[in-house]
Amino acid sequence: MRKIQLVSLLAVTCLLLISLAYQAQGTSPGPTAKRQEAGLLDGTKWKVKIVSPDKSEKPVADTLVFAKGTFDSIACHKYGFFKASYRARKMKGTVTFTSAVIKNDKGEQMSWRGKIEGKSISGGMLWRPKKGAAKRYTFKGAKA
């Protein structure tokens, strides 16, 4: 039983460190980076395919929407995940973004990060179930 508690504590600690790393990525731009811009991606939509970590699940078609300072994954609505705020910054023609942590009524959490180069988008989505290990999905697509 003690081993399970230790493993659970280690998993929670790792998730916390990952979350902090994601948040830190967008908060301290380097000398060649523009400061974060609120609404930088507002008014854009992106058609993407979401792929599971081990590619055992069928890829999911999704539309990512940026509007009024929020990020929204339309395909995730059916799982109870709705829009959340996002941060973005532009550096040398590439825009990077991170979403706030999105929570559903089941206690699950999801967060997104990605980059946009021209009309292409790619990145990752981290899904944290209430119980069990987190899963990191990848996505890529193009401007809608």
Residue with more model confidence, 56 or 108: 108
Q: What pLDDT does residue 110 have? A: 98
CA–CA separation, 112 and 139 (whole Å): 10
Backbone angle region of 126, left / alpha / beta, with phi > 0 → left and psi within -120 to 50 → alpha: beta
pTM for the whole thing? 0.75
**pLDDT, mean over the chain:** 83
CA–CA separation, 28 and 16 (whole Å): 19
Sorting pLDDT into bands at 50, 70 and 90, what band is 39? Answer: confident
2-143 classified as CATH 3.40.50: no
Tell me which DSSP letter residue 52 carries: -
How is the chain split into domains, by residue range? Answer: 2-143
Residue appearing with tokens 């946009």: 116
